[in-house]
A and B are shown apart, each in its own frame.
Chain A
């Protein structure tokens, strides 16, 4: 996906003034957190499960090589193929090559953020093949030519009316009803035909189980199963950190994932796939490939940033983030928005491009409090802020001000002297109205807000009876 994260400040401002978007975000902010709250209220062990999940992930990441080998061996023993790809380009080439080998013309696809990350659709289309998104949200975005704004609900930023307009523009058949049901019915009608025409089906994966060599795909629409089972070739595109040791471990994550993401006890479809169809099976793909993308993840192993790889992509951090809820996912400019994106994207792309995202946090900690695998997100933001400061990615003005503050505040007499002269001045500026309407260097504060004036003198050092 094209990087546009350096535009965050401008995009965020636009988003705040986009009435349709604000309407959609308003619903999201109330909806998902409330659903999650209700779902976990019915599962008393939820907190213990979070600890357990974090432990399993840490163990998996520590033994990633061993587990990946075990997974690969199992898949290959059943006639599937595993392709380890270091970069996005390697992964695109691997997928295109597989499609070309089976002389594919049409390809169906279910939702996969990793395929967005590596810009897979563009590569497939450039190679002369047609690719159709079958997840409803992704399908809407494909028609709109837009990137996703949320990792679970990619088109959450679209209002129903916008979808109605898109369908009317792109579909030849008349729309019977403009209701949600009507839209779903028409998407189903259009997509149904695509499934049967497809030569290759591409899906993502939520987990890879090393013990059994199993790919686990979780969806609510069942579209991944149609992509997987109808074409002759099934390609799973996923990333390195999805490997977990055993089926027992999977049960821990399944209890957490649906509840954290959408407040469901479990998602509607949970599919376990272990290879191509057996000789005695009548249906299923003849060719089975798993493309595992590294994309910069392995360099986090063994570092303080490794905890980021615990992520199971539930989206709870963005659902609870005040900043995400204010500006939506598209402002973030890359496939992973919200808190996890702010923390992970600099590692997967480059810190300069992502420089605004980790700064755009109040450190309120709502994300950490709901993360099902307990990723210490604030610590991660602070890591990037420190790196940015040290590498001069942070602007000169901020660096200079902070240094100056540390200089004065570690010299109490100088500090007192400065306060003695500046505070009365500020008090005069605030005047009768009692507030300041503008101050140089603090411009941002005054966007929609004033600053209550100071008393004019310090507390420390005053005479006390």
Chain B
């Protein structure tokens, strides 16, 4: 990390899904941050940002978890999140949860400002560019999550990183269309959800790429789950996993 940012404290919020389901993504994110010269801390008290409660209508539960999350992370200068939807929750929705609590609102706004989605942090704050990877160039296709693309306006950052690492991106037709994950939606309306996942998988297969990369684990588990059910031989990777390949821990 360049210049004045070197002395800043940086925390990784692994997110509940990555922490519990695919810890390798968090390990990969740490490796990338360290490669960028960032000393990263992983606060032990972290759990979940409360997004599932917030979107499920449980505002009280969302507030409880937001308060917990703020308490764990407020002392850091930067918080990095390898997930668009969790970053969206913290950046765009935390402040609104505390309209009637001035102190909490102030804290929520402060945390919102210093929380960054991983690819945004790497490209704009750490100003890191990956070198060509030893694993060799892959032809990949990239899935934009709706959280990244529409709610956070992230489109170029992951593509720049993937390209700088020497990989070729076969763009996905209909990249702006949802993959059908939607958190609880995927469970409550499983038939519609997997119908949408199936359409996305058809587009993925159409690119000819053997590797699917994205920045939101929810979408990736959805698509990987469908691809596995179809018996397709397509590898599904979080962008951190792709970029950290070949880098020693």
The interface of chain A, by Cβ under 8 A from chain B, is 9, 12-13, 16, 322-323, 326-327, 359-366, 368-369, 382, 384-390, 394, 398-399, 402-403, 405-406, 408-410, 412, 415, 419, 423, 435, 442-452, 454-455, 457-462, 464-465
Contact sample, A vs B, 26 pairs, CB 8 Å cutoff: A12-B189, A326-B196, A360-B188, A361-B182, A362-B196, A363-B183, A363-B185, A364-B182, A382-B54, A386-B57, A402-B57, A409-B16, A409-B47, A410-B47, A410-B68, A412-B47, A435-B225, A443-B187, A444-B187, A445-B186, A449-B194, A449-B229, A455-B23, A460-B26, A460-B46, A464-B42
CA distance A444 to B182 in the complex (A): 13
Find chain A residues with CB under 8 A from B54 CB.
Answer: 382
Find chain B residues with CB under 8 A from A454 CB.
Answer: 20-22
Instruction: Give the contacting residue for B55; candidates A385, A388, A435, A458; CB below 8 A.
Output: A385
B30 touches A423 (CB 8 A): no
Find chain A residues with CB under 8 A from B171 CB.
Answer: none
Chain B interface bracket (under 10, 10 to 19, 20 to 34, 35 or more)? 35 or more
B198 touches A448 (CB 8 A): yes
Find chain B residues with CB under 8 A from A444 CB.
Answer: 186-191, 193
A452 touches B224 (CB 8 A): yes
Q: Is B59 at the interface (CB under 8 A from chain A)?
A: yes
B61 touches A455 (CB 8 A): no
B61 touches A402 (CB 8 A): yes
CA distance A382 to B53 in the complex (A): 11
Instruction: Give the contacting residue for A398; candidates B182, B184, B236; CB below 8 A.
Output: B184
Interface stretch among B110-118, B156-164, B173-181? Answer: B173-181
B225 touches A452 (CB 8 A): yes
Find chain B residues with CB under 8 A from A435 CB.
Answer: 225, 228
In the A-B complex, list the 4 residue pairs whose CB atoms are closest, starting with the nearest: A362-B182, A444-B190, A406-B61, A389-B57
A322 touches B180 (CB 8 A): yes
By secondary structure, the A interface counts as helix
CB proximity of A369 to chain B, nearest CB, Å: 6
A366 touches B177 (CB 8 A): yes
Instruction: Give the contacting residue for A462; candidates B23, B59, B194; CB below 8 A.
Output: B23
B224 touches A409 (CB 8 A): no
Find chain B residues with CB under 8 A from A423 CB.
Answer: 20
A409 touches B68 (CB 8 A): yes
Find chain B residues with CB under 8 A from A458 CB.
Answer: 19-20, 23
Q: Is B246 at the interface (CB under 8 A from chain A)?
A: no
Find chain A residues with CB under 8 A from B194 CB.
Answer: 447-449
CA distance A458 to B55 in the complex (A): 25
Instruction: Give the contacting residue for A447; candidates B26, B182, B191; CB below 8 A.
Output: B191
Supply 10 further A-B pairs (C-beta < 8 A) apart from A409-B16, A449-B222: A361-B182, A382-B54, A389-B59, A394-B57, A406-B65, A409-B65, A423-B20, A448-B195, A452-B21, A460-B42
CA distance A445 to B218 in the complex (A): 12
Find chain A residues with CB under 8 A from B224 CB.
Answer: 452
CA distance A462 to B26 in the complex (A): 11
Find chain A residues with CB under 8 A from B23 CB.
Answer: 455, 457-459, 462
Q: Which chain B residue shows the least CB distance to A327?
A: B192
Q: Is B172 at the interface (CB under 8 A from chain A)?
A: no
